[in-house]
Copies of this chain bind each other. A is one copy, B any other.
Amino acid sequence: MNTIPDEILNCLCTNQRFLILLHQKPDGDAIGSAVALGKGLKQLNKTVDYYIDLPLEDKLEFFDEIQYFNQVLQDDYDVIIYLDCSSSSFAFSPAEMPAAKIRLVIDHHKSNAHYGDLNFVEITGATAEIVFRVLRGLNVVFDEEMADAIFTGITTDTGSFQFSNVTVDTHLIASELYAIKTNYAHLSKRLHTQKNINQMKMTGAAIHSLEILDSMPIAMMILDHETIVKFGGTINITDDVANLGQNTIGVAITALLKEIDPGEYRVSLRAKYPYDIHEIALKYGGGGHERAAGFNFCGDVGELKRDLMEVCANQNGEA
């Protein structure tokens, strides 16, 4: 396993008052990293505050440490830790940012802008992997909640060890977690497979609408307004619904059209390499990445389908 730079360990050892910030809508990696790092620093008799965007997804709300989130905010800190935030604008920051001697960035995003006074950025499967190594470097003893927190970060950001960001270290760290606590099956189920009945029904409705357009490898799914209302609103459209089309053999691009209000759509696009759906999202005033992008849409759904077919055809060099 790679080691941690001395200056990072020194910064954490020699300072006393820490504030942890995460990105907006914190995911499993952000929350898991915050819980483990916060508890680890407290074990070393540091004071730790958290400023974190709430509420969390139900599935992440099981950590005891969450009771300490957003309880106090001092005027100044020794160190503000930007955790799992690729840029400072991506972080969920207080309206009045406290003063700090040092801004420390700990992150695993390739796109990280190194905006801190100290930056520890490595391209790992999850920020939680880096936090684990940092805490080992500080000789912190892991309790079961901290092991759960690191596991949560790793398993959510690697798609249960399935994504291309998994490395030798990812599994080495997981093996160390199993030495702390022997069974993560219940946690895995909570994070990856459990849905409430309305989320399940929303998934079924999306698959029911799944249509592969002509002979092109483009899939379309539509959740109309009536369906969304029937199953409890957009909060019940889970992240994986947009991926269902992508899990269909032969599909390269998927558009999930969510009719948020009557006639108004939020469109989630997903693409496989080498397809690039960023440009179509831009064309419709949206944004995102090459393989995952989105936009809002009011208009002729038939026109949208034709546009998507055109993008796909162009990328095949057929048009």
* Nearest-CB residue, chain B, relative to A204: B207
Q: Mark A248-261, 1 if CB is under 8 A from B, else 0.
A: 11100000000000
A273 to B185, CA, bound (A): 13
Q: Given contacts A201-B210, A244-B200, are A178 and B168 in contact (CB under 8 A)?
A: yes
Instruction: State whether the Cβ of A268 lies closer than 8 Å to any Cβ in chain B.
Output: no
Interface residues of A in 194-210 (CB under 8 A from B): 194-197, 200-201, 203-208, 210
Contacting pair A166 B185 (CB below 8 A): yes
Instruction: State whether the Cβ of A182 lies closer than 8 Å to any Cβ in chain B.
Output: yes
Contacting pair A162 B185 (CB below 8 A): yes
Count identical subunits in the complex: 2
Complex interface: chain B residues within 8 A of A289 (CB): none
Q: Given contacts A196-B249, A200-B210, are A171 and B162 in contact (CB under 8 A)?
A: no
A298 to B32, CA, bound (A): 50
Give the Cβ gap from A4 to chain B, nearest Cβ, in Å.
19
Contacting pair B166 A196 (CB below 8 A): no
Instruction: State whether the Cβ of A192 lies closer than 8 Å to any Cβ in chain B.
Output: yes
Contacting pair B164 A171 (CB below 8 A): no
Complex interface: chain B residues within 8 A of A3 (CB): none
Contacting pair B178 A175 (CB below 8 A): no
Interface residues of A in 170-224 (CB under 8 A from B): 170-172, 174-176, 178-179, 182-185, 188-189, 192-197, 200-201, 203-208, 210, 212
Contacting pair B200 A247 (CB below 8 A): yes
Contacting pair B207 A249 (CB below 8 A): no
Give the Cβ gap from A129 to chain B, nearest Cβ, in Å.
12
29 A-B pairs whose Cβ atoms sit less than 8 Å apart in the complex: A155-B161, A161-B161, A161-B174, A161-B188, A162-B184, A162-B185, A162-B188, A164-B183, A164-B185, A166-B183, A166-B184, A167-B182, A168-B175, A168-B179, A169-B175, A171-B172, A172-B172, A172-B175, A175-B175, A193-B247, A194-B247, A195-B247, A196-B250, A197-B210, A197-B249, A200-B210, A200-B247, A201-B210, A203-B207
- Starting from the known contacts A166-B184, A174-B174, 13 additional A-B residue pairs (CB-CB under 8 Å) come to A161-B161, A166-B183, A167-B178, A168-B178, A169-B175, A172-B172, A193-B247, A195-B247, A197-B248, A200-B207, A200-B210, A204-B208, A208-B208
